Amino acid sequence: MSVEIEKLIEQWPHLKEPFEFYARWQQFQREADAILPKNRTTLVPAESKSYPKDSVDSVLDSFATVFNLPKEALEPLAQAMQAGDFDFMRLPLDELPDVSHELTEGELAKILFFLSRPWFLRLREICVLEGGAWEDGRCPVCSARPVLSSIEEGPQRRLHCSWCGSSGTFRFLGCPNCGTENTTKLTTLTPEGEPGFRVIACDACKTYVKVVDSSLLKAMTPDLADLASLPLDIVAQEKGYARQAPNPIGMKKIP
């Protein structure tokens, strides 16, 4: 586990479990990144919709070991990737592949989120749209919906992607999920005991986006800020607002 995560656990002891789970995913991310070809253009979606065929087995071996899963359970996914009919780009649109498996839809979605993220992170590195504006409230790199935002000097609003890690600007006012600019539909929730974080919830589409102080993002990544503000997800969801993309431990709906 990194020193950074150990420090965060000291600061937020009630979030020990999510942080530890995230550290496990980070281990998979490091291993997958080492397996993937160094020639970054091999991951252009037009050529490779998921992991390159000669990397599939090693990536899945690493995934099964890190997450303590039986390798056989991942076999249908391996076959779909080898056959080239598994398109990772559908995942942020909430479209799951049609593969036979024994998992519930929720379990499959979670596994695919963890499994595909190293691919998305690599995609962001080579994508010319990285850093571009989120024109229609979707990530320009992978089309995911935003979950975390920050306010920068200007002032300018920046949205952060939990799939590919990209971030880009979006207009200052309005809901990125449905586009409404009717401010009477937008509510700010500022739960006590969570300094540096708040929630902007939209009553037009019943979704929310968290806002993190940009000063906090100097000390931690957007992933870690998303996890550190898990209690805000609970507050927003208890009020009936939905999260539109998974958090770094694969959860949209916080139980």
Decide whether 139 or 249 has the Cβ nearer to Zn ion: 139
Looking at the DSSP bridge assignments, the partners of residue 152 are 156
What is the x/- site pattern for Zn ion, positions 173-202, by CB under 5 A?
A: --x-xx-----------------------x
Asked if 113 touches Zn ion (CB under 5 A), the answer is no
Q: Which of 139, 199 has the CB closer to Zn ion? A: 139
- Phi and psi at residue 163, in whole multiples of 5°? -90, -60
* Cβ within 8 Å of residue 14, ≥6 positions away: none
Asked if 176 and 186 count as a contact pair (C-beta separation under 8 A), the reply is: no
Considering Cα of 8, then 9, then 10, then 14, what sign does the dihedral take?
positive
To which residue do tokens 């789970």 refer?
A: 21
Residue 166 interacting with Zn ion (CB under 5 A): yes
- Residue in 19, 51, 163, 197 binding Zn ion, rule: CB under 5 A: 163
Which residue's structure tokens are 């906090």? 216
Residue nearer to Zn ion on the CB measure, 149 or 166: 166
Helix runs in 72-204, H state only: 75-82, 105-126
Provide, rounded to whole angstroms, the least separation between the CB of residue 121 and Zn ion: 9
Shortest Å distance, C-beta 13 to Zn ion: 31
Of these, 43, 147, 161, 189, which contacts Zn ion (CB under 5 A)?
Answer: 161
Residue 144 within binding range of Zn ion, rule CB under 5 A: yes
Q: What are the beta bridge partners of residue 170?
A: 157
Segment 210 to 249, residues that bind Zn ion, using CB under 5 A: none
Q: Contact with Zn ion (CB under 5 A): which of 142, 209, 212, 235?
A: 142
Q: Is the peptide bond before 248 cis (omega within 30 degrees of 0)?
A: no
Residue 164 interacts with Zn ion (CB under 5 A)?
A: yes
Q: Which is nearer to Zn ion, 65 or 182 (CB)?
A: 182
Question: Residue 171: which region, alpha, beta or left (left: phi > 0; alpha: psi -120 to 50)?
Answer: beta
Q: Footprint of Zn ion on this chain (CB under 5 A)?
A: 139, 141-142, 144, 161, 163-164, 166, 175, 177-178, 202, 204-205
